[in-house]
RNA sequence: GGGGAAUUAGCUCAGUUGGCUAGAGCGCUUGGCUGGCAGCCAAGAGGUCAUCGGUUCGAAUCCGAUAUUCUCCA
């Protein structure tokens, strides 16, 4: 059975058990401060488990693209070294939200594995939770009883809290789980050691295949467990592992999911998979990471230098490094595997073929820059070796510096060190690493307390903000959050006119009032589907309700920019082409920022065209059309633009301004008619990554100010130039004139210096073989310096002392010919320090040239006398 | 969010503890030579040493801030 039909069979099976087949949520998580990437199938249903949203379907099944590279689940460094760790993988799952529980979940799992997929039931083992005294929990005998109907008791094992009690995080929904393990060893091996002994021992051929989680508790922040009213089932089965088992392979990488990449890599390198362990690891690493990175880019997360984007960059770089070290790649190569991936997964994940070119470009660009970084690291390393040839040990601090500052992986440093007969002080490296981690942790502590219930209410806050900016609202619950010594409160209301930040539009600000009490809402944020109002203080006594008022000015200005973003998005697609896709958007009261895929600089002519189109639509004063509660199909029928990497519900909202011109799926707030926007003006255009451009623009009053500012500057220039007819020509002339004048000055100075040189030459005193000159001039230090160097060129055996003064400051410049320095051991720097005391200053320099400066101009004569005395001695 | 670093000619980069009035290679311009694949020789142009401020007799070099980029940690 190939992987495509294995996936389909899973869906068909659960559909037959009345499950709704949900789409995979994007791999990149938005609106959840605790999570950067989807790392488990349950992420997209988190709100249902937390009781923030009602379940739309009580039974759901899906495959979810997951990424485990940060936080609690971090498998990155394992990938490639064994046959079953992955960064990106698919998680198949079935879900019950307060519907069926242990009995059905267990029966169906068994049925699917043994009767549909036909796995030999004798090689399957199951585990159940053994209970925990510290938590005061009994063993999960309920699950055990159900299993006994299918599985002989000797293959039902008890598991510890670590393996068989699943928790989402430090707090939140949790419960016992029951795992199904499969033993795919050979007959002989099985006879030698019974599978029971190898369950949960990290044996690569006795592996967990499916985890059935029975969510029945809520973990509070004080650590105690609270039973849930509605119990849920959350299961997860690793798709890649399942394919391995069903295809009779011993490694995930031998399945038809990964083999195409490995074949392509063999072709590119001429190396055969399975011949050399290191090359094999590299090929596994690359085929795994390619998938992770490609999906991330397709979901709109580009490699960058911080946050989620940085995680993506690191994954890609790990792949490049393995290719560099073990497959001898010196040129970008990973991007060449993208077409293979599109061919293999494109049918089920349409975001891949749709963005193939972008993915390839971005990866190729990243590969190129990292290969460059490696080259700088190598130079740095070689310099170190050259400067420290004898100790044969690379200090930990240097290895850490290479790693920390130049991104040079430490295992590569070790490898190169070995080639030069050096070793790396790993202890020193680790201690640097430890310090770094401690610093970061200390800086990022955030403490969130439990919710405190004020009033019972609905699960999801009702948003009133599309129609009204003021409403009477009831506080439902709040909690205290402390972050870096600052304390604030998150407040949930039954309904709200406040827009919570999402879709690029910033959250609303405003006030909550009740009698004497006024709470300022500093921001409104979204945590998954929950609208959270941020307040800096809470009242001693909570009133039953507040009058909530949104800061209207800020909201209106923001709406201008948001609607203008839609108009511009359409204009971009008209002017540049339909390959333009939104890759990021930020809309606040000051400006709009829009990132989109496009492969060339947007020319000034195109910018002008875009502005024209948008302003035309503004002047047409088009009425906003809002369609709420549309099905996805109807929305697409309308031609509404949807974004990749955005999670949409069953019902979507479409905002259109003349639906043939602009229609977009959007939850944001907008102007009633485009005329309100006033003026639209693009302020900047530039690249932010390979294939991605960013435009910033302003609207309304801000746009007027921007244009007026430009005009004002121009007027000022005009005025300075005395109102010429052609301002550009006038400036050009001015510049030319400036150039000729500068040349003239230069020549004059030369001439002047010439006459001064003559003057100096005429003052030569022969003292021994010395050509001794002293002079006092009203020139600045720079000129004195020029003069001194010119004299040095023209006269041998020179000992020149120039006392100079300008702007009330005194200075001495001393020049001695090189031969005198050598013969008589003169040191101008030392001599001048003596002289400088006379002008109440300090100085210094090299043996042949030195300068000094001071406050006392009257002391110059004395300083010169001192010089004469010195020379005469 | 926290740390470390980088920014010098059109490009790639040197510039050692502050001081020989900012250098190299490639590219560019001009002239000369040359029947040859990166031709050779000579001369020349090109730099507010990222920006702003400070310390100093003197700053590309030291200190601070800003911007941009790289990099590690969370």
What is the rounded CA–CA span in Å between residue A844 and residue A811?
12
Q: Can you read off the two tokens belonging to residue A16? A: 């037959």
Q: What is the DSSP letter of A37?
A: B
Half-sphere exposure of A397 (CA within 13 A, CB side): 0
- Return the C-alpha torsion angle A82, A85, A89, A95, nearest 10: 130
Topology adopted by domain A763-872: Diaminopimelate Epimerase; Chain A, domain 1 (3.10.310)
- Strand B–CB A400 distance below 7 A: no
Distance CA A773 to C1' B29 in A? 43
Asked if the Cβ of residue A803 lies within 7 A of any atom of strand B, the reply is no
Domain ranges of chain A: 3-257, 258-385, 388-441, 451-550, 555-711, 721-756, 763-872
Q: Which of A624, A525, A608, A609 has the alpha carbon at shortest distance from A566?
A: A624
Q: Is the CB of A841 under 7 A from strand B?
A: yes
Domain A555-711 has CATH 1.10.260.40: no
Answer yes or no: is A441 CB < 7 A from strand B.
yes
- Cβ burial A718-750 (10 Å sphere, 16+ → b, else e): eeeeeeeeeeeebeeeeeeeeeeeeeeeeeeee
Rounded to whole angstroms, the distance from the CA of residue A870 to the C1' of nucleotide B17 is 29
User: Do A763-872 and A555-711 have the same topology in CATH?
Assistant: no
Sequence length of chain A is 873
The two structure tokens encoding residue A461:
């806050």
Give backbone dihedrals phi and psi of A852, rounded to 5 degrees, phi first: -145, 155
- Judge if the beta carbon of A809 is closer than 7 A to nucleic acid strand B: no
Give the model confidence (pLDDT) of A149-164 as tens digits. 999 999 999 999 989 9
Q: Which nucleotide has the least CA–C1' distance to A437?
A: B73
Residue A13 confidence (pLDDT): 97
Question: Using an 8 Å Cβ cutoff, are A219 and A225 in contact?
Answer: yes
User: Which pLDDT belongs to residue A20?
Assistant: 95
Mean of pLDDT over chain A: 88
Helix (H) or strand (E) holding A418: helix A410-419
Question: What does the buried/exposed string (b/e) look like for A508-519 if buried means 16 or more CB atoms within 10 Å of the residue's CB?
Answer: bbbbbebeeeeb
The Å distance, CA of A729 to C1' of B67, is 32
Nearest one of A227, A222, A230, A232 to A451, comparing CA atoms = A222
Indicate the pLDDT class of residue A349, thresholds 50, 70 and 90: very high
Top-level class of domain A451-550: mainly beta
Residue A207 CA distance to nucleotide B44 C1' (Å): 75
Q: How many CB atoms lie within 10 A of CB A586?
A: 17
DSSP structure string for A482-526 = EETTEEEEEEEESEESPPPSBTTBPPP-EEEEETTEEEEEEEEEE
Highest average pLDDT, of A80-89, A282-291, A320-329, A846-855, comes from A282-291
What's residue A178's pLDDT?
Answer: 96
Q: What value does the mean pLDDT take over residues A224-239?
A: 92
Q: Which of residues 676-735 of A touch strand B (CB under 7 A)?
A: 688
- Among all strands, which nt has the closest C1' to A438 (CA)? B73
Q: Check: CATH 3.30.930.10 for A3-257?
A: yes
Higher pLDDT, A779 or A264: A264
Q: Mind listing the pLDDT tens digit for each residue in A380-419?
A: 787 777 777 777 888 888 888 888 888 888 888 888 888 8
Whether the pLDDT of residue A240 is over 90: the answer is yes
Determine whether the distance from the CB of A459 to the nearest atom of strand B is below 7 Å: no
State residue A484's pLDDT score. Answer: 66
Average pLDDT over residues A526-532: 84
The most confident of the ranges A466-475, A486-495, A771-780, A837-846 is A466-475
Q: Span A591-597, mean pLDDT?
A: 87
For nucleotide B5, give the residue with the nearest CA to its C1': A405
Q: Which nucleotides of B are covered by protein (CB under 7 A)?
A: 1-5, 13-14, 19-21, 56-58, 69-74
Considering only residues 598-627 of protein chain A, which place a Cβ less than 7 A from any atom of strand B? none
The tokens for A300 are 């709109």
Closest nt to A402 (CA→C1')? B71
From CA A777, how far away is CA A760, in angstroms rounded? 11
Distance in Å, residue A331 CA to nucleotide B35 C1': 39
C-beta within 7 A of nucleic chain B, residues 121-180 of A: none
């Amino acid at each position: 059975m190939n992987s495509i039909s294995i996936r389909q069979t899973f869906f068909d099976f659960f559909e037959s058990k009345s499950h709704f087949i949900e789409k995979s949520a994007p791999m990149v998580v938005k609106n959840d401060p605790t999570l950067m990437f989807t790392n488990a199938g349950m992420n997209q249903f988190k709100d249902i488990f937390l009781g923030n949203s009602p379940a739309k379907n009580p039974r759901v099944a899906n495959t979810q693209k997951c990424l485990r590279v940060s936080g609690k689940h971090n498998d990155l460094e394992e990938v490639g070294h064994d046959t079953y760790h992955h960064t990106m993988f698919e998680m198949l799952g079935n879900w019950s939200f307060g519907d069926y529980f242990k009995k059905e979940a267990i029966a169906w799992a068994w049925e699917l594995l043994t009767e549909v997929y036909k796995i030999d039931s004798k090689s399957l083992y199951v585990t159940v939770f053994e209970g925990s005294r510290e938590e005061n929990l009994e063993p999960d005998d309920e699950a055990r009883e159900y299993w006994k109907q299918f599985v002989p008791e000797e293959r039902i094992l008890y598991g510890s809290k670590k393996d068989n009690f699943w928790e989402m995080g430090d707090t939140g929904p949790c419960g016992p789980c029951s795992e199904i393990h499969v033993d795919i060893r050979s007959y002989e091996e099985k006879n030698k050691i019974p599978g029971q002994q190898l369950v949960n021992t990290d044996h690569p051929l006795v592996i967990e295949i499916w985890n059935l989680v029975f969510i029945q508790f809520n973990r509070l922040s004080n650590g105690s467990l609270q039973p849930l009213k509605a119990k849920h089932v959350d299961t997860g089965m690793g798709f890649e592992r399942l394919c391995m088992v069903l295809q009779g392979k011993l490694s995930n990488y031998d399945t038809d999911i990964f083999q195409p990449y490995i074949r392509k890599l063999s072709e590119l390198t001429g190396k055969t998979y399975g011949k050399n362990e290191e090359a094999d690891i590299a090929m596994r690493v690359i085929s795994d990471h390619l998938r992770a990175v490609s999906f991330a880019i397709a979901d709109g997360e580009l490699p960058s230098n911080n946050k989620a984007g940085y995680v993506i960059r690191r994954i890609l770089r790990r792949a490049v490094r393995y290719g560099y070290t073990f497959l001898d790649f010196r040129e970008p190569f990973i991007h060449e595997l993208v077409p293979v991936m599109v061919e293999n997964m494109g049918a089920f994940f349409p975001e891949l073929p749709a963005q193939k070119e972008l993915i390839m470009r971005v990866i190729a660009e990243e590969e190129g820059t990292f290969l460059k970084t490696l080259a700088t690291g190598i130079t740095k390393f070689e310099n170190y070796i050259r400067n420290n040839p004898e100790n044969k040990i690379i200090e930990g601090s240097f290895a850490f510096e290479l790693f920390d500052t130049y991104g040079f992986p430490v295992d590569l440093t070790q490898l190169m060190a070995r080639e030069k007969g050096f070793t790396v002080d790993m202890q020193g490296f680790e201690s640097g690493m430890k310090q770094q981690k401690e610093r970061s942790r200390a800086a990022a502590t955030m403490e969130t307390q439990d919710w405190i219930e004020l009033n019972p209410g609905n699960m999801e806050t009702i948003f009133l903000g599309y129609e009204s900016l003021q409403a009477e609202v009831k506080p439902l619950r709040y909690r205290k959050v402390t972050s870096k010594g600052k304390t604030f409160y998150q407040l949930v209301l039954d309904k709200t006119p406040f827009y919570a930040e999402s879709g690029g539009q910033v959250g609303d600000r405003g006030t909550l009032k009740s009698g004497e009490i006024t709470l300022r809402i500093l921001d409104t944020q979204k945590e998954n589907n929950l609208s959270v109002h941020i307040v800096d203080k809470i009242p001693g006594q909570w009133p039953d309700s507040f009058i909530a008022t949104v800061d209207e000015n800020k909201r209106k200005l923001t709406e201008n920019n948001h609607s203008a973003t839609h108009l511009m998005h359409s204009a971009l697609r008209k002017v540049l082409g339909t390959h333009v896709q939104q890759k990021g958007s930020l809309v606040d009261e000051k400006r709009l920022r829009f990132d989109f895929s496009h492969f060339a600089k947007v020319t000034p002519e195109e910018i002008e065209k875009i502005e024209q189109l948008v302003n035309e639509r503004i002047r047409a004063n088009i009425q906003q059309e809002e369609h709420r509660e549309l099905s996805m199909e109807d929305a697409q029928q309308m031609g509404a633009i949807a974004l990749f990497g955005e999670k949409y519900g069953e019902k979507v909202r479409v905002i259109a301004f003349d639906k043939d011109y602009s229609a977009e799926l959007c939850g944001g707030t907008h102007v009633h008619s485009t005329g309100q926007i006033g003026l639209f003006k693009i302020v900047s255009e530039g690249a932010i990554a390979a294939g991605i451009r960013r435009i910033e623009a302003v609207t309304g009053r801000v746009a007027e100010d921007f244009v007026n500012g430009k005009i004002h500057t121009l007027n000022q220039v005009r005025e300075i130039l005395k109102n010429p007819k052609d301002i550009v020509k006038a400036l050009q002339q001015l510049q030319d004139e400036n150039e000729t004048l500068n040349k003239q000055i230069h020549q004059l100075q030369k001439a002047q210096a010439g006459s001064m040189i003559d003057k100096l030459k005429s003052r030569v005193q022969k003292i021994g073989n010395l050509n001794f000159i002293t002079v006092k001039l009203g020139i600045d230090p720079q000129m004195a310096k020029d003069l001194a160097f010119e004299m040095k060129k023209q006269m041998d055996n020179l000992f020149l002392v120039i006392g100079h003064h300008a702007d009330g400051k005194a200075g001495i410049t001393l020049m001695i010919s090189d031969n005198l320095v050598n013969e008589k051991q003169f040191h101008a720097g030392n001599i001048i320090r003596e002289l400088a005391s006379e002008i109440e200053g300090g100085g210094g320099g090299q043996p042949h040239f030195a300068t000094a400066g001071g406050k006392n101009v009257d002391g110059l004569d004395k300083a010169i006398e001192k010089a004469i005395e010195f020379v005469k001695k």
